[in-house]
Amino acid sequence: MGPELDFEKPILELQEKISELKKFMNEKGIDLSDELNHLQERLADLEKDTYGSMTPWERVRVARKLNRPTTLDYIPLLFTDFIECHGDRLYGDDSAIVSGIAKFHGRPVTVIGEQRGRDTKENIMRNFGSPHPEGYRKALRLMKQADKFHRPIITFIDTKGAFPGKAAEERGQSEAIARNLFEMSGLSVPVISVVIGEGASGGALAIGVGNQILMLENAWYSVISPEGAAALLWKDAGKAEEAAKTMKITGSDLKKLGIIDKLIPEVLGGAHHDPKKQAAFIDQALIESFEELSQLTADQIRNQRLAKYRAIGNYETVQENQTNHSIFSYSSDRQ
Amino acid sequence: MKDFFTKKKKYATVPSAKARQDVPEGIVRKCPKCKKIMYVKELSKHLFVCQSCGYHYPIGAHDRAEMLFDQDSYVAFDEKMVSLNPLQFPNYMNKLESDRKKTGLNEAVWTGKGTIEGFEAAVAIMDKGFRMGSMGSVVGEKITRLIEYAGKNGIPVIIFSASGGARMQEGVLSLMQMAKTSGALKAFSENGGLYISIMTHPTTGGVSASFASLGDYNFAEPGALIGFAGRRIIEQTIGEELPDDFQTAEFLLKHGQLDQVIPRSELRTVLGQVLSIHAEGGAE
C-alpha cells in the first residue's frame, strides 16, 4: 500500500486494532464479534470522514503516492491491443512519455501519457515523469499520425512539469511545448485529456489541449506546483500547503472555475486502493465524453476546441466614467 | 617643490545618503555590463543601447512603440481591460493598481497597430515593468484579440515578448492563456498570416513556451535571457553550474532556436525588409 500519510494515521491505527482483535479471537477462541463490528463501523465512518473532507494539500500528497496508478497501469485496464510507439524521429526516445495505438471498446485510438516511475529505479529511467523536448515531439508525431488516420486521441497528464535541465533548454523545451499547443489546436480528431495525478504547468498542458479535460478527484492541475508557487509568491517553499489552497488546483476547484469538463470520482482513500475499480470510473467517463464528441464533425471538433480555450479568461473593460482605476494617468518618470 | 607641499589632498567626495537621495532619479544610468555612466537623454537617442559595450537596456512598451513605428502612425487597442482576480488572490488588485500607475499601461502588454517603414502591422509589446511582464487573463486576451484583428484585416502580427512567464496570481487561468494565444496563432497561420516574434529580455516560462516561440520568424535582441526554466532551478536540479552565456539570445541562435539576433539599431530596417518581402506576395 505504500507509506501512509499523517492524516491517514488514525485509520491505520484502527485497522491495526481490528486485526489484533481478530488474531486474539482466533487464538483464544473467544467471541468478541460485537466489539469487532463496533470497531469496523467506526473504521468505515472514520474513512468516510477522513477521505471525504480532504484538504487540497492532502490531495496533492495522495496524487504523489508512489503506488498511485500511472499511465502504464491504466492502459491495460482501459484498452486492448496496445502497441507502444517510440521516438520522435528527430533526436531520441523519451520514456517520461509513453505513446502508442490501441483499441478502446473496439474503437481505434491513440494513447499518450506522461509516465513517472513506480519505484526508484524506474523513476530514474523515466526521469520522474518530467519530459524533455523529444518527449513532447514524440507525442506530437503520434498526434499528427492520429489526425491522418482519423483516430481519436486520449492523453493522460501526470507530471511535476517539463524537465528543467541544460539539455532540455538546448534542444528547445519552450519550442517543443509551444509547438504542441499550436498543433493540438488544429487537430480534427477528438482529444480527451485526463489528469490522473499531477498536472504542473506547460509540461502538462503540452499534451493537454483537449476537447474535454477530465480530472480525477485527487489529482491537481495548475500553472505551477504548490511548492513553486509558495517560493515565488511568498519566498517560502514551506508554505506549499497554503499555496495548494490559494492557487485553486484541485479537481473540484477547477470544475467550479469552468476549466475542466468532468470530475472523475476516486476510490475511497485514493486510486491506489483499487486501480481496477478506478479504471472502471475512468472508462465510464471516457465513454460519456466520446459519446458527446461523436456528435461533432471534424470541423466542429476543431472549432469546439478552439472556442473552449478562447473563452478562458477573467477580465472586464472599464468605462470612461469609472474612476477607481488609474490606467489613464501615465507617469513619465519611470525608469 | 613648493607645489609639492601646498598641493591639496584629493578626496573622493562620497555624497551623503541624503545627497544621494536628492539626485533626481532617471538623469543618469549606469550600464550593468560595463559600468559606464550615461545621461538618460543621450541613452534614449541611441535607443537605450550602451554606446560603450552594446548592452541593450530593457525598455518599456511606450518607449518601444515610440522607436518602432513610423512617426504618429500608431494607435492602441484594449487600453481599458483589467483583470478581475479570478482566484480572489490576496492583495493582487493592489499590486495591479500600483503597476498601472508605475507603467501607464493597463496590463503587462501594449497592443495596437501602426506602420513600420510604411508597412501596416498589428503589434504587441510586453512590458516587464508590469508584474514582470507575466501573462494572465488580460495579456492572453489582448494578444488573442490582436491576432484576430490582424487576421480579419490581412496584416502581419509582430509580438515583442518580455516576460517572466505565466502570472501566478491567476493560477490555471494563466496557464490556459498559453493554449488560447497558441490556438489563435494556429488559426491565423492557417489563413496565411505572417507572424514575427521578437524576444527581448527576458522571455521565459509560459510566454517562451507559447506564442514567443511560434513565429514564422523568431528574432531576439542581443543578450536577451530566453528560456523555459529558471537558471537557478536548473542548477539545483542537475547539480552543476551553467555556462555564462546559457539561455542568452546568442546561445539560442547557436542551438538552432532563432533565425537571427538583431541589434536594436537595425531592427526597424530588418522588419521593413521582412515585411516588404511578404508584401510582394508568394506564389498562390
ipTM of the predicted structure?
A: 0.92
At residue A332, the pLDDT reads 35
- Nearest CB among A162, A181, A327 relative to B106 is that of A327
Q: Do A248 and B228 touch (CB under 8 A)?
A: no
Q: Which residue of chain B has the CA closest to A310?
A: B180
C-alpha cell at B80: 481599458
Residue A334 has a pLDDT of 35
Tell how many helices (H) and how many strands (E) occur in chain B: 11, 11
Residues of chain A in contact with residue B83, where contact means CB-CB under 8 angstroms, are: 314-315
- Is the pLDDT at A84 greater than 90, yes or no? yes
Q: Kindly report whether the peptide bond that precedes residue A3 is cis, defined as omega within 30 degrees of 0.
A: no
Tell whether B27 is within 8 A of chain A (Cβ).
no
**Hey, is the C-beta of B111 within 8 angstroms of any chain A C-beta?**
no
Q: For B73-100, what is each residue's pLDDT tens digit?
A: 999 999 999 999 999 999 999 999 999 9
Residues of B in contact with A179 (CB under 8 A): 213-214
SS3 string, chain A, reads CCCCCHHHHHHHHHHHHHHHHHHHHHHHCCCCHHHHHHHHHHHHHHHHHHHHCCCHHHHHHHHCCCCCCCHHHHHHHHCEEEEECCCCCCCCCCCCEEEEEEEECCEEEEEEEECCCCCHHHHHHCHHHCCCHHHHHHHHHHHHHHHHCCCCEEEEEEECCCCCCHHHHHCCHHHHHHHHHHHHCCCCCCEEEEEEEEEEHHHHHCCCCCCEEEEECCCEEECCCHHHHHHHHHCCHHHHHHHHHHCCCEHHHHHHCCCCCEEECCCCCCHHHCHHHHHHHHHHHHHHHHHHHCCCCHHHHHHHHHHHHHCCCCEEECCCCCCCCCCCCCCCCCC
- B:33-92 residues touching chain A, CB 8 A cutoff: 40, 60, 62, 78-87, 89-90
pLDDT of residue A197 exceeding 90:
yes
Scanning B208-237 for CB atoms below 8 A from A yields 208-214, 226-230, 233-234, 237
Q: B81: which chain A residues are within 8 Å (Cβ-Cβ)?
A: 315-318
Is the pLDDT at B17 greater than 70, yes or no? no
| Exposure string for B22-37, b = 16+ CB within 10 A, e = fewer | eeeeeeebebeeeeee
| Nearest chain B CA: its distance from A94 CA (Å) | 17
* pLDDT-above-70 percentage for chain B: 90
- B200 at interface of A, judged by CB pairs closer than 8 A: no
Residue A95: Cβ within 10 Å count: 18
Instruction: Measure the CA dihedral A194/A199/A202/A208, to 10°.
Output: 0
Cα A209 from Cα A201, distance rounded (Å): 12
Query: Which residues are CB-neighbours of A284 under 8 A, at least 6 positions away?
Result: none
Q: Which residues of B touch A184 (CB under 8 A)?
A: 179
Q: What percent of chain B has pLDDT over 90?
A: 85
- pLDDT surpasses 90 at A256: yes
Please answer whether residues A267 and A273 qualify as being in contact, where contact means their C-beta atoms are separated by less than 8 angstroms: yes
Which residue in A140, A318, A163, A205 sits closest to B181, CA to CA?
A205
Domains by residue range for chain B, with CATH: 16-57 (no CATH), 58-278 (3.90.226.10)
Distance of CA A308 to the CA centre of its chain: 19
Residue with cell 465510464: A284
- Measure Cα distances from B25 to A96, A156, A239, A332 in Å: 51, 53, 37, 12
| Mean pLDDT to the nearest integer, A219-234 | 94
pLDDT tens for B192-250 read 999 999 999 999 999 999 999 999 999 999 999 999 999 989 998 888 899 999 999 99
Least CB–CB distance from A185: residue in B87, B183, B229: B183
> A216-233: string of b/e by CB count within 10 Å (b at 16+)?
bbbbbbbbbbbbbbbbeb
User: Nine-digit cell at B81?
Assistant: 481591460
Subunit contact B237:A165, Cβ cutoff 8 A: yes
The Cα of A169 is separated from the nearest Cα of chain B by a number of Å equal to 7
Asked if A254 and A217 touch (Cβ cutoff 8 Å), the reply is no
Residue burial A272-287, b: 16+ Cβ < 10 Å; e: rest: bbbbeebbebbbebbe
Average pLDDT, chain A: 93
CA distance B208 to chain A (A): 6
Shortest Cα distance, chain A CAs vs residue B5, angstroms: 47
From CA A197, how far away is CA A195, in angstroms rounded?
6
Buried/exposed code over B216-239 (b: 16+ C-beta within 10 A; e: otherwise): bbbbbbbbbbbbbbbbeebeeeee
Helix (H) or strand (E) holding B130: none
Which set of grid coordinates corresponds to residue A14?
Answer: 484502527
Residue A329 pLDDT class (50, 70, 90 cuts): very low
| Nearest of A112, A78, A80, A109 to residue A98 by alpha carbon | A112
Which whole number is the average pLDDT over A22-51?
90
Q: Which residues of A touch B167 (CB under 8 A)?
A: 223
Residue B23 has pLDDT above 60, yes or no: no
Query: Chain A residues with CB inside 8 Å of B168's CB?
Result: 223-224, 229, 232-233, 247
Q: Which of A235, A239, A255, A315 to mutate to test the interface with B (most CBs of B within 10 A)?
A: A315
Give the model's confidence band at A333: pLDDT under 50 very low, under 70 low, under 90 confident, else very high.
very low
Question: A329 and B171: CB-CB below 8 Å?
Answer: no
In the predicted model, what is the mean pLDDT of residues B22-51? 87
Closest among B172, B102, B183, B98 to B135, alpha carbons compared:
B172
pLDDT digits (tens, 9 = 90+) for A257-286: 999 999 999 999 999 999 999 999 999 999
- Amino acid identity of residue B17, one-letter, is A
CA distances from A176 to A135, A156, A206, A229, B140 (A): 9, 18, 8, 24, 20
| Angle of the B264-279 helix axis to the B61-68 helix axis, nearest 10 | 60
In this predicted structure, the answer to whether residue B24 has a pLDDT above a threshold of 80 is: no
Please tell me which of the candidates A229, A247, A317 has its beta carbon nearest to residue B80: A317
Q: Phi and psi of A73, rounded to 5°?
A: -75, -35
Does pLDDT of B120 surpass 90?
yes
* Residue indicated by cell numbers 476543431: A302
| Residue B172: DSSP 8-state | H
* Residue B3 pLDDT: 53
Residue pLDDT, tens place only, A155-182: 999 999 999 999 999 999 999 999 999 9
A334 with B173: Cβ contact below 8 A: no
Indicate whether A34 pLDDT > 60.
yes
Question: Contact at 8 Å (CB) between B237 and B213?
Answer: no
Q: What is the mean pLDDT of residues A26-35?
A: 88
Mutate to test the interface with A, among B137, B169, B175 (most CBs of A within 10 A): B175
* Average pLDDT of the residues of chain B: 92
Q: Are B125 and B72 in contact (CB under 8 A)?
A: no
Q: Which long-range contacts (CB under 8 A, 24 or more apart) does B215-219 make?
A: B215/B159, B216/B189, B217/B259, B217/B274, B218/B257, B218/B258, B218/B259, B219/B258, B219/B259, B219/B260, B219/B261, B219/B262, B219/B267, B219/B270
**Among all chains, which residue has been given the C-alpha cell 512519455?**
A97
**Three cell numbers, residue A42:** 467506526
Please tell me the distance from the alpha carbon of residue A322 to that of residue A5, in angstroms, as a whole number: 51
Q: Which residues from chain B sit within 8 angstroms of residue A334, using beta carbons?
A: 26, 60, 102-104, 129
Residue that wins the pLDDT comparison between B170 and B7 = B170
Per-residue pLDDT averaged across A24-33, rounded? 88
What's the rounded mean pLDDT across residues B33-51?
93
Residues A223-234, mean pLDDT to the nearest whole number: 93
Q: What is the C-alpha to C-alpha distance for residues A210 and A187, in angstroms, rounded to an integer?
A: 10
